[in-house]
Structure 1
Amino acid sequence: MEIKAMLIGFILAIIAFVFHLIGFASPYWINSDSFTRAVHYGLWKVCGVFSSGCADITNPADWLKASQAFAVLAFICYLAAVVCSALKLFVLKDKKIILFAAIGAVFVGAFCALLSIVIYAVKQGDIANSNLFDYHFAFAFCIIGMLIAIASGICFILEMKNS
């Protein structure tokens, strides 16, 4: 059971990292049809406002900076969880401190992702300037990544309990 829980946790940590990376980088957190064309907003870019291309969000509001910061922290924590779990699984098999680091990193990352998602969801009306918006795939990917990260952390805890 030991290696299975650790291996499953490692695979889940990789999947959570990939989901968060896609959601984090994509300018498709929300979609608004309030203009003559569809407009997509993300953490870093807005697409379709002035042309068919995307532009950086200049002078973001403080709440958007906070959401961006927590998303970056989640990204770093997920990466650290993947590295720590890989080290524990393949290199430093007898070092329990690496497992503790993986557990901490994955749960801190999930918490930071949650904060980023909640801040953005509560304040999204400030950037959409309309009630006519839908959450898009990148927003959902960050939520899915957070839930998978929690499952990964549970697997790591099971590994700790069994070892």
Structure 2
Amino acid sequence: MVDNCKIFASSSKVLKATAVLLGVVFIVHCVGIGTDFWVHSDHFGARVHSGLWRYCSCFTFFGETCYCVSFHSPAPGWLKGVQALEVIGLIAIIFVGLMIFMQLFFTQCTTIKIWGILLMFFSAVCILAGVTLYGAMMLHDLNFSFGLCVISSILCFVCAFLLIQDRRISLRNAQVPGQARYASQGQVIQSPPAQVVIAYSNQTQQPVYPPSYAHAQYGPPPSYPVAMQHGQFVQQQDQFQHTQQKNAE
């Protein structure tokens, strides 16, 4: 449970906003394909409206009475095509929602992100193709159910671009200096500049190097004693020459 909370906290705000927007898209699309007001018209005192699944006629006679007939075998082929496209788009929305849920609470897998983007575009295209076909066949009297499905297709495209932005954010975070990734033990794939990172047993250990004055603790470097001996020899030679000059005087 703690790990799930950490994954959710580390998820980008774009992904969280996409999850909320996708929930709105799901509700809007369900209302659009489930209601009977894709077209609406009045003929000789009778109000006629229909959706993807049934056709209704309403009469006003001591109150309004509606009689609805479901589309089964009498449904034309183009209407069946619209039904199929809209339902496929809805199923794709559900799958994208499941993928976003996995990214928020279980894993930030790159493959899941890519599939989510592709399915989101696929859903948007299916819904848009369905409403385009329906609008081409029913040129007049289009109503709010048709408009809701048009809105859901547009919002699907928006969600797809938000998922692309989330993918870019995850790639940027993976390339931030100071975060090293390893393919196997002892093999450094990426490390920050001016820093050596070595992996042992799948753990990152950063060695601590002694400061510049470390010779005070560990002893002088190899060249340091030689320089001291050379200085002592030069000093003794100068003292010997100075003593000879005094004796000569």
TM-score normalised by the chain length of structure 1: 0.88
Q: Is the 8 A contact 2:12 2:169 kept in 1?
A: no
SS in structure 1 at match of 2:69: strand
Across the aligned residues of Structure 1 and Structure 2, the Cα RMSD in angstroms comes to: 1.8
Cα distance 1:36–1:57, how it changes in 2: closer, same or farther (>3 A)? farther
Q: Confirm whether residue 138 of structure 1 aligns to residue 149 of structure 2.
A: no
Cα distance 1:87–1:2, how it changes in 2: closer, same or farther (>3 A)? closer
- Displaced runs of 4 or more, over 3 A: none
Q: Confirm whether residue 107 of structure 1 aligns to residue 121 of structure 2.
A: yes
How much has 1:105 moved relative to structure 2?
A: 1.4
Q: Counterpart in 2 of 1:85?
A: 100
How much has 1:36 moved relative to structure 2?
A: 2.8
Give percent identity, aligned residues only.
26
CA distance in 2, matches of 1:18, 1:64: 22
CA distance in 1, matches of 2:56, 2:144: 15
Higher strand share: 2
Q: Is the 8 A contact 2:121 2:160 kept in 1?
A: yes
Deviates more, 1:114-123 or 1:57-66: 57-66
Residue among 26, 33, 42 paired with 1:33: 42
2:50 partner amino acid? Y
Q: Where do 5+ consecutive residues of structure 2 fail to align? A: 1-9, 60-64, 171-249
Q: Write the mapping of 1:1-163 to structure 2, written as runs, cut at 5 A.
A: 3-48=12-57, 52-58=66-72, 59-92=74-107, 94-124=108-138, 133-163=140-170
Deviates more, 1:56-65 or 1:69-78: 56-65
CA distance in 2, matches of 1:24, 1:35: 28
Q: Is the 8 A contact 1:46 1:56 kept in 2?
A: yes
1:6 partner amino acid? L
SS in structure 1 at match of 2:43: coil
Q: Is the 8 A contact 2:22 2:159 kept in 1?
A: yes
Q: Tell which has more relative contact order, 1 or 2 (C-alpha 8 A, sep 6+).
A: 1
TM-score normalised by the chain length of structure 2: 0.59
Q: How many residue pairs are counted as aligned between the two chains?
A: 155
Higher helix share: 1
Q: Is the 8 A contact 1:2 1:162 kept in 2?
A: no
